[in-house]
Structures are given as structure tokens and as C-alpha cells.
Amino acid sequence: MIHRIIKNTFLNSHVPSSVLSAACLITIAGLLSRLLGLFRDRLLASTFGAGDTLDIYYAAFRIPDLIYNLLILGALSAAFIPVFTGLISNEKEKEAWQLAGGIMNLAVGLIIIFSALFCIFSPFLMKAITPGFSPEKMEQVVMFTRIMFLSPLFLGISGIFGGVLTSFKRFFIYSLAPIFYNLGIIFGILVFVRFWGPIGLAWGVVLGAFLHMLTQYPSSRQLGFKYSPLFIMHIFDHEVRKVFRLMIPRTLGIAVNQINLFVITIFASLLAPGSLAIFNFAQNLQAVPLGIIGVSFAIAVFPTLSAFSSKNDNENFAKTFSETFRQILFFIIPLSVFIFLFRAQIVRVVLGAGEFDWEDTRLTFQCLGIFSLSLFAQSAVPLLARAFYAAHDTKTPFYIALVSEAVNISAVVLLIGKYNILGLAIAFSLASIVQMFLLLSVLRFRYDNLDDREIVISVGKIVIATLFSGAVIQGSKYVVTSFVSLNTFLGVFFQLSVAAVLGALVFLLISYLLKSEEFMMFRDSITKRIFKKTKIVLEEDTGEVSGM
């Protein structure tokens, strides 16, 4: 049976027949990546604790991440994939590959130029970003940052490959790349740090970025991508200019998000040592369901929404959006409650070891609890933004991002004096909720019908099932404590496991009794993959995937 699950899920599903199938494919690989991410964080926490070293490590990501997000992420999510998909759909493969090559040359050139400039001026930039760091910490963060400037180059090239793969709906290979990225970082923690000290963390990030690129290259080449310096001639083609025009508002929107991260880094550097590390640990924990559910569904549905938008098929566009939105909420609302109720247990199980003491644990699970309250909004934003991008509208998400960032900065200024690191978490969550409701309101205004009635009914059923599940979880936690000691890892893990399983079963049972449409779709998808052969929609060579 396991062989059949693997075969039907991975080998025959390169071109999924539904968004749910594609999202499941991304989710399975994403789950492994996220688990590796948790293992990575446990290694970091147990080795260094929430202190100066990890503050330096996380602060060093800011400028390299800025380069990648502005030059690559904006072009891919808002512009390259819709334009590239449109050319492929209209059987203009030659123009599509010229577009990919032109964008590749343009991206690599810009990354090299900006990385070199920022590398030279990094001492001045880091003083502005981390004003609270001591001179010793400042010297180290500059060194970390300069090494990490290699990662945007590899991730930028890999991003183009990833755009090609998602356009052709090769979701499995696309989803493998983050796994190898985390493996590179883990190798850095276990090996590089042993020989080179803390600076080995930076080299681990570079190794992970290189593996991220290497993973996607073979499939991209198999699909038809061949790099040539002659593609420099195509950087001024009509389609490349179109991508560039579309990416500008999206890039500005990402810049607003980067300002958010800079604001967090600046204020966290002024707080007690380890504050930035604690914020990032909590954010990484809540990012597990965010990435597995919110991002996976958004990535899976994006080509479909782009195709419907290019054909002006508003009815199917709205229907597909509504179904995906409800599926995200079906998973994320109960997970949010689970995380809130288990916040202390999760942090103790994942991070509570070695140098990570009780004070670090307490602050981290308090931040995690605050993040969980806005998880539904954070998970919906990737889908909502892509609904606008699919329609070639990158300006609206940018304007809304500006408003949400204004909310975030205002809240930080008002709350940080009283709540310290928790004030940053509150501000972040509040801004996420504002952003989600503004995006949804504008999208609803543009379409006559988003299946509003179905959304309201579905959310009502999900909330009812979640309330029953939460009550069972809370009761189970207290019952288990009478049988096991919570002073040990095994005791906390047992409490977490038993209560979580019971809560999940109750949620599924209530969803079944309420005849939740999302539950039925999920059940049918799982049943189909286990007991039925999946129909291959398009012929593909699966040898490479099966070998991996």
C-alpha cells in the first residue's frame, strides 16, 4: 500500500488534475522540508541558545534576502510565471524560452552588481539595521553578511528554474529544492561550525543555496531550458519588458515587506541579547503550517488562476479561488488553535535542549501564541496576492502592503516599550490581519460573486468543528498530566502527541457529521490516491523523478 501511495502521489502526478492534488504534492515535500527546518532550528538553539551568535546569524540575512526578494521574487511571483505560462499555453515555446533566458541574464547581472555594492558598504548598512549591536557583534555580522551575499546568486538562478517548473506544473521537483537548502544549512551547523566556528553557519547557508539551484537544473534542462550568453540579446524583447513592467509594483510591495523585517531587526537589536533569535524561532515554528498549507495551495493554484484570467473566464476564476480559499481555511483554522493550545509543548519539544534555557523557551512560546492568532490571515495572503497577480494587477497588493506596514510600524512604536519582544509579535500579527481583510475586500469588490455563501457556510462548519476539537485537546492535556511527568522530553512529547491525535480525530469527526465540503474533498483525494490509479493527463518521462 505504501508503494502505491508513493507511486500514485509522486510518479504519476507531475501534471495534477486538480489544485488539491497539486497542493498535496507540494505539501508532502514541503512537510519534509519544514521538518528539516525544525531540526535545523533545534540544532541552532541547542548549540548556541538565544544569544549573540544567533542574533548575528539572523541579522546577516537581511540584506542578502533583500537582494533576492526584490530582484527575483517580485519578477517570478507577479510577472514571469503568468507571462511564461501564457506563451506556453499559446504554443509559443520559442518565445517562452527566449523570455526565460533573457530574464536569467538580467537577474544574474543585477544580482552581481547589487551584491558587490552592498558587500562594499555592508559595514555602514549593518550599523543602520542593527544599531543596538556592540562593536564586536557588528564586526561579526558584517563578516556573516559578506559571505551570505553568495546565496542570492544561486537562489536567483534557482528561482528562474523554479518558475519554469511551476509553469509546467512540475511541482514535485520544485518542492524538493527547499529540502536540499535546509540540508546544506544543517551540514554547516554539524560540520562547518566544528572546523571554522560560528562563521560556518554563513557557509552552510551558501551551500544550501547552491544545492537549491542544483536540484532544479536537470528538470529545467529536460523541459527545454538551455542557457546561452546570446540570451543577452533578448533582455529588451517585448515579453521581457512586459515582465519588467509587471514586476515593478510587486517589487515595491516586497520592498514594503522587507521594511517590515528591517523594522523588526532594528528594534530587536535594541532589546535584550537573543531577542531577534527568539522572534525568528517563533516565526519559523508558525511558518510550518503557513508554508505547508498557505503557500502550497497558493503555488498550486497560481497557474490555473493565470490561465483563467488570460481567457477572461471570470466564473471559473472566482470558483477556483473560492474553493482554494476554503480549503486553506479548513486546514489552517484548526491548526491555529492547535498551535495556540500547544504553544509551550511545541517549543519545549522542538527547541528545548542544550543552551536553550527556560527563559528563552517562555518568551518563544509567548511569541508563538501571538503569531497563531493571525495564522489564518498570513496563510490567506499568498493566495489573495496571487489572485491579483494572475490578473496582471501588481499595484493593488502593493498599496495594501503599504497600509499594513504603516499599521505594523505604528503598533511597534506604541507597544515595544511596554511589551518588548512581544510587542513586535503583536504588531506583526495585527498588520497581517489588516492586509488579509483589505485584499479580500478589494477582490470581492471586483467580482460579482466569490461564492460568498459557500465561504460563510464553510467557515461556520470549520469553526464549530475546531471548537469541539479545542475542548477535547484542553481536557486531554490535563488528563495526561496525571499519568506522566512534564519535567522530561518524553513526558511533554507524550502529552502533545495524545492530545493532538484526539483533537484531530474529533475535528475530522465533527467535519464529517456537518458534511463539510472541504472534508469530503480531502477524504476523496486521499482515498483516490490510496486505492485508485491516477490518470496521467500528459505524458512525461518519470525516470528522473523515480530515481530521486
Query: How does residue 232 score in pLDDT terms, banded at 50, 70 and 90?
Result: low
Q: What is the pLDDT of residue 428?
A: 94
Average pLDDT score over the chain: 83
Most confident of 96-100, 291-295, 330-334, 513-517: 330-334
Picking from 347, 432, 254, the residue whose alpha carbon sits closest to that of residue 38 is 347
pLDDT exceeds 90 at position 342: yes
pLDDT exceeds 90 at position 278: yes
Q: Taking residues 296-311, report their average pLDDT.
A: 82
pLDDT exceeds 90 at position 144: yes
Query: How does residue 319 score in pLDDT terms, banded at 50, 70 and 90?
Result: confident
Higher pLDDT, 245 or 150: 150
**CA-CA distance, 348 to 363, in Å (whole number)?**
12
Q: Taking residues 143-154, report their average pLDDT.
A: 93
The three state secondary structure string of 336-404 is: HHHHHHCHHHHHHHHCCCCCCCHHHHHHHHHHHHHHHHCHHHHHHHHHHHHHHHHCCCCHHHHHHHHHH
Query: How does residue 237 score in pLDDT terms, banded at 50, 70 and 90?
Result: low
Per DSSP, the residues of 171-225 read: HHHHHHHHHHHHHHHHHIIIIIHHHHGGGHHHHHHHHHHHHHHHHHHHHHHHHT-
pLDDT exceeds 50 at position 516: yes
Give, in degrees to the nearest 5, the angle at Cα 136 between 135 and 140: 115
Name the residue type at position 421: I
Mutual angle of helices 343-350 and 275-289, in 10-degree steps: 110
Q: Could you tell me if 172 and 542 are in contact, meaning their C-beta atoms sit under 8 angstroms apart?
A: no
> Could you give the 3-state DSSP secondary structure of residue 168?
coil
Per DSSP, the residues of 44-78 read: HHHHH-SSHHHHHHHHTTHHHHHHHIIIIIHHIII
Q: pLDDT, tens digit, for every residue of 91-128?
A: 777 778 878 877 788 888 888 888 899 899 999 999 99
With pLDDT > 70 as the criterion, what percentage of the chain qualifies?
86
Q: pLDDT, tens digit, for every residue of 377-409?
A: 999 999 999 888 888 787 888 889 889 989 999
| CA distance to 60, 137, 486, 525, per residue, from 134 (Å) | 15, 5, 38, 54
**CA-CA distance, 330 to 335, in Å (whole number)?**
9
pLDDT exceeds 50 at position 535: no
Q: Taking residues 129-155, report their average pLDDT.
A: 92
Per DSSP, the residues of 402-448 read: HHHHHHHHHHHHHHHHHHTHHHHHHHHHHHHHHHHHHHHHHHHHHSS
Query: How does residue 57 score in pLDDT terms, banded at 50, 70 and 90?
Result: very high
Q: What is the pLDDT of residue 363?
A: 92
Q: What is the pLDDT of residue 24?
A: 64
Most distant CA atoms of the chain, gap in Å? 72
With pLDDT > 90 as the criterion, what percentage of the chain qualifies?
39
114-118, 310-314, 452-456: the lowest-pLDDT one? 310-314
Helix and strand counts by DSSP (H, E) for the chain: 25, 0
Q: Could you tell me if 407 and 374 are in contact, meaning their C-beta atoms sit under 8 angstroms apart?
A: no
Q: What is the pLDDT of residue 82?
A: 75
pLDDT exceeds 90 at position 58: yes
Query: How does residue 531 score in pLDDT terms, banded at 50, 70 and 90?
Result: low
Higher pLDDT, 322 or 254: 322
Q: What is the pLDDT of residue 445?
A: 85
Residue 263 burial (CB count, 10 A): 19
485 burial level (CB within 10 Å; 0-12, 13-18, 19+): exposed
